[in-house]
Amino acid sequence: MKRVVSSLSFVMFAAATALRAQNPMTAEVTAVYKGVSANILKAAEKMPEADYAFKPAPEVRTFGQLIAHVADAQMAMCSMTKGEMKRCGTSSAAAPRRHGAPPRT
């Protein structure tokens, strides 16, 4: 799981760098993004690895699945920016589907 956190840090940094180069409005977006990413990273680092399986309710993802979901989304967004389509694949199979959502492939 620590590897996912390290990968998430790199991907978040890469996304923020890509955003900065686009237009003047990105300064505000980048500031918000940095704040949110810092909070996610701090939470991931502070949570003991044994507690990554914590689930506040049966119908929601575990803490580890949420962190993996964020990493997967970041990888997808950054790869699309680069004209590629990569996914970590860490969260899609493990995360519960929403009611009525189509099956994942």
Please write the tens of the pLDDT for every residue from 27-69.
788 888 899 999 999 999 999 999 999 999 999 999 999 999 9
Task: Say if pTM beats, i.e. exceeds, 0.95.
Answer: no
Q: Would you list the domain boundaries of the chain?
A: 2-81
Contacts of 28 (CB under 8 A, 6+ apart): none
Distances (CA, A) of 29 to 47, 69, 72, 79: 27, 21, 20, 19
